[in-house]
Every structure is written in C-alpha cells, then in structure tokens.
Chain A
Amino acid sequence: MAAVFPVNNSSDRPKPATLSSDRRIFGTTIAVLAKLLSGFTVRWINCAPDTCQRVYFANHTSHLDAVVLWSALPRELRALTRPVAAKDYWGKTAIRRYVASSFNAMLIDRHEIKVHQSPIDTMLREIGDIYSLIVFPEGSRNSDADMGEFKSGLYYLAKKRPDLELIPVYMDNLNRVLPRGEILPVPLLSCITMGSPIYLEKGESKVDFLKRARETVRKLKDS
C-alpha cells in the first residue's frame, strides 16, 4: 500500500549519515522479517510518506511495535527515521547494540534523567534537522486493549520544535502477534494506520494537547 504513494523528496535536505553496508543489509532483512511475521498492511489516511522531519507517535502494545512501524515506512524514509528505544535493554550486549543500530534505533537512558540532560533534549539534539522520530507516548507497553494515558514527552517535543509534523499512528492487532510476556510470535495479520499531522495549538495546555493527541490515535482505529 505504501508503494502507491510516491515519497515526496525535498531535494535540498542534508543527507543522513550512511550506515555500513552490512548494517544496511541487516536492516533490510529485519524489515522483510517484520513484514512476513506481522503481515502488516499500511494505510496512509490524509497523509503521504514524506522526507520532512516528523514524529510518528503510536499506541504501544507489543515488543514488535518499534521495529514493525519502522519497517512499514518506505525504504527512503527508513534511513531517515529513528525509533526511540530503551538503552538499558538495547545497549546491554554487543549483539543488541548491533541490531539496534541496524534499525536505526536511538537509545535513550530511561533511568539517568538529569535536569540539563532530559531525554527530550537528547532526542532533539540527535535528530538535528535530518531525522524523524518514532515514539510511544504511553511509555510502557499496554496489556489491555485500551490505550494508556500519554506521557508529557510528546508535548515538550512539540513545544520545542513546532516545525515537526506529529503523525498519529494506530497499530492494530500487534498485541495478538506478540503480547506482553511472550517470546514466540504468532504470525497473524496486522494493520498500521497513519493519520494526518497534528501540531501544538497556540495557548493549548499540556493536558489538553496530550488528550487530543491520544484521541487522534484512537480515532484512527475506526477510520
């Protein structure tokens, strides 16, 4: 489905750092495996793939979410998009670090949060004016079907960088492919829906914005 839309390529953009070829090949392998395993269909609703800087924010129900969402993007965008992942898990061993770097993950420390070194600042510094982000504002994975409350990180991202397009994403059925606490995935079919971008409105409070952001994700479920 994604291939139907041509990727809008703004020509005068700085190029992303090139990964080593083995990481690129491994990254493509991961994307193909994710497609086979979760059988996802991608729907873009009032939105098209674009190389402009974006923050994809999605509901979080499975370990696979970050990899699958990254794999669902067209190849040009995968090189430009960095899923935010937990450093305490993905940075632990050399193998995990290698896998994480292959799918372009940005490792963020969840525990060592200091005043001058908030994760949001790290993310913004890392993406510069090139990369897009994949975030899961619910924080931890949600075991029941209903979505949890959004954490405030998305609000600060929107406030500090109002030029970023915030794309709501609803990931359906992935919690059945690999639910919380399971190791072996069941290869069912899933569906990923990308909606039209939202922005922080002038004078909108943190609570209102987070509520609205959560609603846009939830509405994509039935669209």
Chain B
Amino acid sequence: MDHLLRLLGQVAPQPTAENPEGSGFPSQLQKIPGEVVEVVQAVWLNLPTNILLGVVLATLAITTAVSQWLQQKPPANINPALIRRFDLRVRAWWLMCAILVFGLLLHRIGTVVLFGLVSFWALREFITMTPTRRGDHRALFWALVIFTPLQYVLIGLGGTTIYRHDGRPVDFYAIYSIMIPVYASLFVPARIAIAGDSKKFLERSAQIQLGLLICVYALSHAPALLDLKLYSSRGERWEGSNAGLLFFFVLICQLSEVFFWVSGQLIGKTVIAKDVSTSRTWEGLFGGVLATGMAGLCLYWVTPFEIWEAAILSMVVAGMGFLGAMTMSAIKRDRGVTDYGSLVLGHAGVLDRIDTLCFAAPVFYHLTRFFFSR
C-alpha cells in the first residue's frame, strides 16, 4: 500500500538512474533538439511477451483440438448447438489473434493502423444500425471519414518526437485525449443543425456522438498504451515491452468474456436486467471478475505491475468489459438485432467482438497512466 501512497504523493521523487538529481518534474520543458531523447521502448517484443504469445497460441491450438473432437464425437449430454457456437467462437479467437499478432509484427505503426481500421469498421456497423436521416449525411461524413482517421493519426504521431519552434516537444496526448470529446462532439450537432432538419435532433446527435465515443475514442486508448513511459510502483523504470502490455490487456478482455460466460452457466441465478440480456447474472459478474483477477495475477510478469496490482487492474478491466457488453446489448435490443454483423453478414460483426475492449481500454489506459507513468 505504501507504494501507492508514495506514487500518489509524488512531490520529491528519489534519485534514479535516469534522473540523478531527483528533480521534480524533469527537464521536459528545457529539452532542446539534439539532446539525447529517451527511447520510449527499448524492445518491441521482449522475451516475456513472446512467451505469452506462445502460451496463447498453444492454448488456442488445444482449444481447437477439443472443439474438433467435440464435433466428431458429440457427447450425449451436451447440446449440439452449444458445440457449434463454441466452434464459431474458437474460429473468431483465431482470427482476432492472427490480426493482432500481424499488427504487432508490423510494430507500432502497424498496430495503430490496425486499431484504426477496427474502429472504422465498428463505427460503420454502429451507424448502419442506427436510424439516421437525410440531413445527417454531412455530419456522418465528418464522423467516419475525417474524425476517425484523424484520431488515429494523432495517436500515431504520439509516438514521435516533434518539436515546436521554441524547442519544446509537442505533447500529442493533449490533442488526442480531447479531440473527440471537445471538437467532434460539439461539431457534430452543429453540423446537423446547419443541415436544417430539426426532427429528432437530440436523438440523432446523440447517436453519432455515442458512436464516435465508443467505437473510436474509447478504442483508440488501446494503441495509446504503446506510448506510455512506464515505471513500476517502486519507482523504477520498467524495461519491459509496451506491446506486451497491450497484448496482456486484449487477452484479459477476451478471458473475462469467457469467464463471465462460464460462471454465468455454472452459478448464474439472478438475472441483472432481463430486457437487456437474459444470460448476464450478478453471480456470473462476480465469478467472472474474480476469475479474471486470478488470470491477471498469473500473467503479472508481462506487465509493469506487482502481482496484486495486476489482479486489481484485471478485475477493473473485467468489470468495465461487462458494463460495455451490457451497454451494447441494450443498444442491440433497442434496434432489434441480435448481432451487429447480422445486419448484413449473417454472423457476429466487429462491434460484437470489441464491445468489452471499447469500455475497458480508456479506464485501463488512464489507471496505468495515473499510477505507473510519468
């Protein structure tokens, strides 16, 4: 606990290797071009990250084998529909894993572009599903074609060091953390108003704002994790890989979905809101959060966190993911669709796969930034 208190009350940091004078908020302001700039991360994918990747791939392979075996010799006491759904789920995991690993192999810029494309596709599904009017056309164009790419360009620039004319480095965090909440969310209703159609004005503005907030703004915090300069809670510079931390986060989100489902099946009794989701229960929520905490505890070695910190953060991620899934089911119920993809594709869409990520990403990012970064 005293680690945390020290972090919170960080007025006079101890001298460290990077910062021998132990001066308060280091020489960011006086930094001039040409000075040696600390590299944000030394290793893109270090040994622990590669081990974690290997473990995940091995687990997926085992799961696939089990799924194949179940399909060939279906046990009498298991519902065949359940086996089919399990098989689809395993395929979706392989796809997600392949996409994420592909992005990570292309390094930082590949990962940012990848998340950008996912955001774009999710927003596309979101807006296709919501009823818009003719007068929203220009506002939708801004949301999909201008604000979405712009947010990811800013995230991408966040990893570079560009200097102002007076020699101070540009802090891109100050732009990308407010671009959508400030500029986009004020501009969108104004653009709709200029188009001159006032019917259902509040609903229409809120739809586009919520779409941008969930699909673009929230999700963009996941790749922003790559640019955090991380310290352990003891105050030592963390030498690990930020890409590994991102992979840890995505993995915890996916695991939490599994744990919620399993614990809902095993101990679920009290349905939280039966008009929104018939399968999500209070027991499932607690079981899932605890199980995800255990999983995070086992994987702490990829992160800058202590064991107990990893467990708590994983539980927070699981809780936020649960809220995300509930929110998205409420939207789906309202629009009368079962899956976002079923509008057009006949199977689950991108938005169905990332609802937990979207809600968990900004909270995970900001907690990590607040407690573990300087």
List residues of A whose CB falls within 8 A of some B CB: 39-41, 143, 173, 176, 179, 182, 184-191
Contact = CB atoms under 8 A, between A and B. Distances in A.
A179 B137 contact: yes
5 closest cross-chain pairs (CB), A and B: A41-B344, A189-B128, A186-B140, A188-B128, A189-B344
Interface in B55-87: none
A189 to B, nearest CB: 4
Nearest to B132: A176
B121 to A, nearest CB: 9
Nearest to A173: B128
Contacts of B145: 184, 186-187
B205 to A, nearest CB: 16
B5 interface: no
A179 B141 contact: no
Contacts, number: 40
B127 interface: yes
Interface of B: 124-125, 127-128, 132, 134, 137-138, 140-141, 144-145, 343-345
A52 to B, nearest CB: 27
B132 A39 contact: no
A39 B121 CA distance: 10
A189 B122 CA distance: 11
A186 B140 CA distance: 7
Given A179-B134, A185-B141, A186-B144, 8 more contacts: A39-B124, A184-B138, A184-B141, A187-B144, A188-B140, A189-B124, A189-B128, A189-B343
Contacts of B137: 176, 179, 182, 186
22 contacts: A40-B344, A41-B344, A41-B345, A173-B128, A179-B137, A185-B141, A186-B127, A186-B137, A186-B140, A186-B141, A187-B145, A188-B124, A188-B127, A188-B128, A188-B140, A189-B124, A189-B125, A189-B128, A189-B343, A189-B344, A191-B343, A191-B344
A185 B141 CA distance: 7
A28 B213 CA distance: 36
User: Which of B134, B137, B145, B344 has most chain A Cβ within 10 Å?
Assistant: B344
Contacts of A40: 344
Contacts of B141: 184-186
A81 B137 CA distance: 31
A190 B125 CA distance: 10
A176 B133 CA distance: 8
A189 B124 CA distance: 7
A67 to B, nearest CB: 19
A184 B140 CA distance: 11
Nearest to A184: B141
A188 B130 CA distance: 11
B277 to A, nearest CB: 24
Nearest to A191: B344
Given A41-B344, A179-B137, A187 B132 contact: no
A67 B151 CA distance: 31
Contacts of B140: 186, 188
Nearest to B142: A186
A41 B127 CA distance: 16
A33 B261 CA distance: 40
B292 to A, nearest CB: 32
Contacts of A182: 137-138
Nearest to B134: A179
B353 to A, nearest CB: 16
Contacts of B124: 39, 187-189
